[in-house]
Structure formats: structure tokens, C-alpha cells
Amino acid sequence: MLGPAVVGGGVLVVLVLVSWLFKRVRGGSADERQSRSRHRDAQERDPPVDIGDVEEVAIREFSDHHSGERRAVGKVEGFVVFVEDVPDACEVTDVIRIKILSFNRGHTSATATHLETV
């Protein structure tokens, strides 16, 4: 006969496995599902900008590029644009004029260069 500690441990393991499987089938948290949904939507639409376009965007945040360079993140009609060569004096919420340089492979975001702070 199994002791109460062994039975309790077995029940705990089963509960953890069932919880993990439920989360995998369900697709993760609500935020994760929303993020995947937005990404799919972005992949299905044409970008609202073309290479060479000049736009004005508000800086939403800064990110570090894999090269180590600091990049501003802005949006044009919800489309994400990573902006390089942003002066150190720029801050979140500053409005900048940018020029679109390229798209990522799936055309779900673009890279731009900073032209001036508005």
C-alpha cells in the first residue's frame, strides 16, 4: 500500500501536467493570444508606407538592436517602425520626422532613419 505522501505527490504531479496541457491547448495567456492575433493580422495586410516615404511619428519606446545600437520605436497607422540614428537627446513621446529605408522579411515592420526632431 502506498503512503499518503506518495499519493499526495502523485496527485500534485498529475495536477501540474493537466494544468500545463490545458495551457498549451488553450494557447497561453490572453496577452499571448492577443499578440499572436495582432502579428497574424500584420502579416496579412500591406504596409501603410513605402520605401522612401517621409513620415512623422511619436517615439513610443526605445529598444536595443542586436548590433547594440539604440533604436526608437514608432508606429504609422499601427505599423511598427524601428528608427536608427536617433539623437541621444530624444525621449519617449518626442515627435520625429523619419525616412523609411527597408522592411523586415515578412513586411510586418520597417526600418527608418531619423531626419529631424519636430
Q: Quote the CA–CA distance of 5 and 11 in Å, as a whole number.
A: 10
Residue 41 has pLDDT above 70, yes or no: yes
Looking at the chain, the whole-number percentage of residues with pLDDT higher than 90 is: 51
The CATH-assigned architecture of domain 53-117 is Beta Barrel (2.40)
Q: Which comes out higher in pLDDT, residue 104 or 5?
A: 104
Residue with the bigger pLDDT between 45 and 96: it is 96
pTM of this structure: 0.68
How far is the C-alpha of 45 from the C-alpha of 57, rounded, in Å?
20
Q: For residue 82, which of 14, 67, 31 has the smallest C-alpha distance?
A: 67
User: Quick check: 91 pLDDT over 70?
Assistant: yes
What confidence category does residue 38 fall into, taking pLDDT thresholds of 50, 70 and 90?
confident
d(CA 112, CA 114): 7
